Structures are given as C-alpha cells and as structure tokens.
Amino acid sequence: MCDPVGVRTAYKCRAYPDQAQQQALVRTFGCIRVVWNQTLAARHARYAAQTTGTSYAETDRALTVMKKNPALAYLNEVSCVPLQQALRHQHQAFVAFFAKRARRPRFKSRRSRQAAHYTRSAFAMREGVLRLAKMAAPIRFVWSWPDVDVTALDPGMVIVAREPDGRWYVTFTIDAEPLELLPQTGRAVGVDLGVRDFAVTSDEERIPNPRCLERRARSLARYQRRLARCRKGSANRAKAAVRVARAHRKVRNARADFLHRASTRLVRQNDVIIIEDLAVANMVKNRRLARAISGCGWGEFRRQLEYKCQRHGRRLIVIDRWYPSSKTCSACGNLLAELSLDTRHWTCPSCGTRHDRDINAAKNILAAGLAVSACGADVRHSGSSRVRSAVKQEPRPVTAGIPVLQGGE
C-alpha cells in the first residue's frame, strides 16, 4: 500500500450574486474574452508572418498596451488578475498543444461557459465570507460539505463561473492535507471497461452502464429542434438555448454522480486497481460507436480513480493499451489470432474453457498488472516481437503512489 500525499482539492458550490455583482462579473467575462481573443489573433498573425511563437511575458506586455488603448479603456474597470490568468491559461494551452496533449486553443464565445480566476491578491476569504476585488459586497454561496469547516478554509484560488443554463458557481481550490489510509482489504481487481456494461471486474461483477445520454436523447433532441426553429438573436432563441443547456446539465450531473459512486466503491474495496490504457480519442473516430463511447466517460473515470487512489493510499496500475486481454485465454494463456467485436463468448481451442469475453479480459488485466507490479515484466504488442516497457516513459513525472504503466503510442 502506498502512503497518501497531499493533493489539490476543489470545492464547487452554487453561487447567488446579486444584480450588481452579476453585472460586474459579466463585464469581467467580457474583458477576459477580449483579452483572450485579441491575444490569440496576435499569436496567429505573428506565427503566420514570422513563424515565431509568443511567450507569456510578451502577452503580458501586450496587455499593458491594450489597457492604454482608448478604445479598450473598459479593461481598467475590472480586476487585472482574471485578465492575467487568462493569458497564463492561454500560454499553458499552447504548451499542451505543442506537447500533443490537447487540441489547438480556440477563440472564446459569449454563448459558452464563462469563468474568471482570482488568485489570493484579488479575493479575501475570512470567516466563510468571500469578497472579490472591485466588489463592495460579499458574494453569497451555499456550502454543501457539512464535514468541512468553511470558516477555516484557506483557498489558493477562487473561480467564479456562469454556465450556459444561467446558473452561477464558485469553486475554491486548496492544497488538501493527506487523508488517513483506508483499511487494507488484501484485494486486487482488474477492471475491463465497455459499452454494454460500463465495467466488468475480475471478480465477475458487472457494473451496468446507466446510459445517461441515451435516456434523455429524445427530450434533448426535441429542445434542439425548437432551438433550431427560433430566429437568431431573438429572445425566444435565448430561452430555448437555456432549455438545451439545462438538459445537457442533467445528463452531465447524472453521469458524474454515477462515475463518482463507481470509482469510490472500487477504491474502498480494493488495495490495487488495474485498468487498461484506452485510447478514447481514437476510439470515438468510429462513427457508429462514437456517441456510446463518449457517453460512458471512461477518461473521467480514470481521472477519478487516479486522484482517489493517490488521496487514500491505494495503487492504480494502467497496463499497455495493446495488451490482448480479450483474445488471451485466462486459463491456459492461449492467444487467438482474431476475435470480432460482436463475439461475446468464445471457447479456447487449446484447453476447451468457455469464456465470457469481458470477464476473461478483466482476469487477464488483473494478471498482467500483478505480474508487472511484482517483477517489472514487459507487455508485448499482439502480433509484434517488439517489447514495450512496462514503466511509464513520458517526460511528465509520475505522481507518487500511482505507478502508471503504458507502452508506446
């Protein structure tokens, strides 16, 4: 078992700013969009003309020039911290893009989610009362964690956001103290993720797929048709857009609730959890399965497992995505040459064992993860003699307590 380490924690609450505060925040959102979009356009123009990138320091100096421009004098009416944070986020977005970890940064729209990030110099949090820079009155919010004392909260950053459905939220990010270790269970489990069943474990437990998006697909399509029939720029179109956003929010919240319950139960019941390194971005290119795969939330599920294992001293092992878990017999180790996706049960031609595809894959994932964990063995690509190292080779540092094992991509 691994020792727990401190991790950054975020508490997201409903916020209820008054009318004056809403106007001030909307003005701040608008200034953030102007700074972001003009800086992004300048980056593109400079790269097209000179094939030269732009550093954060250069964008920061450009912000000073913007604020001196009489046409952009309204930038001085809001706090400068959210504007500078927008430039930092844009710089980080380009770093991630050039590292092939994210897509190219895009221009911001007023119709999407709006957010402003405030660092310690732009807010005050005392006795559970939040005050933002250039706002006289505190912002009212509802605290939803009775076991956490809000009066003792010392956030490092505050994020105020307005969702497309009109709801306001405030998020507090803090560096949490290490939590106590969960009691040892002496159990390890392999987890095979799927579409028909969200997950199947090596203990032959099936976690049903709630299909949150499919259950609300008809009502969502109805709202979207009504939105399409409205005239652009009309008040009815704005109301219809809110209804569509509200329907999406219900799907998103239902999926998040399911993922949190499933991941928390796995972390509490097992000392070691082993999963596959799924290439979700490549899998959704299949247009027949794209919506079903996207609705599962496999990437979010893995993210939750990572930070929960880190927080509670559990161990998460991620095996190579090329490991043939479905085509390998968990009884004798025989490897099939081919296994179609619609074949849910198969019989091993070597030992005659009858396999359920998903349960067999989960058992193989468990065995591969334990073997790698015990002796550092390598996992071979199916049909290839090249050996992929079981140790994470990316330049990003591995978080303590979460050994991530994956092969080449």
Residue-wise pLDDT tens digits, 197-232: 999 999 999 999 999 988 899 999 999 999 999 999
- Confidence class for position 381, pLDDT limits 50, 70, 90: very low
Confidence check: pLDDT of 387 > 60: no
According to the model, what pLDDT value does residue 177 have?
66
Partners of 125 in beta bridges: 130
Confidence check: pLDDT of 402 > 60: no
Which of 381 and 45 is assigned the larger pLDDT?
A: 45
- Confidence class for position 288, pLDDT limits 50, 70, 90: confident
According to the model, what pLDDT value does residue 1 have?
56
CB atoms within 10 A of CB 253: 11
Give dist(CA 60, CA 44) in Å, integer: 16
Partners of 141 in beta bridges: 15
- Confidence class for position 378, pLDDT limits 50, 70, 90: very low
- Find all residues with CB under 8 Å of 388, minimum gap 6, and list them: 320, 322, 378, 379, 380, 381, 407, 408
The single-letter DSSP state of residue 355 is E
According to the model, what pLDDT value does residue 404 have?
35
Token pair for residue 125? Answer: 């949090």
Q: Which of 277, 271, 262, 263 is nearest to 365 (CA)?
A: 277
Q: Which of 152, 124, 116 is nearest to 32 (CA)?
A: 116
According to the model, what pLDDT value does residue 4 have?
54
Minimum mean pLDDT range among 5-9, 234-238, 297-301, 381-385: 381-385
According to the model, what pLDDT value does residue 5 have?
56
Mean pLDDT of the region 245-259: 95
Q: Provide the CA 300 distance to its chain's centre, in angstroms.
A: 5
Task: Tell me the residue length of the chain.
Answer: 409
- Confidence class for position 372, pLDDT limits 50, 70, 90: confident
Rg (C-alpha) for the chain, rounded Å, is: 25
For tokens 């899998």, the residue is 283
Confidence check: pLDDT of 370 > 50: yes
Catalytic positions, written as ranges:
192, 276, 358
Mean pLDDT of the region 72-79: 95
Mean pLDDT of the region 151-160: 94
According to the model, what pLDDT value does residue 376 have?
52
- Find all residues with CB under 8 Å of 44, minimum gap 6, and list them: none
Confidence check: pLDDT of 275 > 70: yes
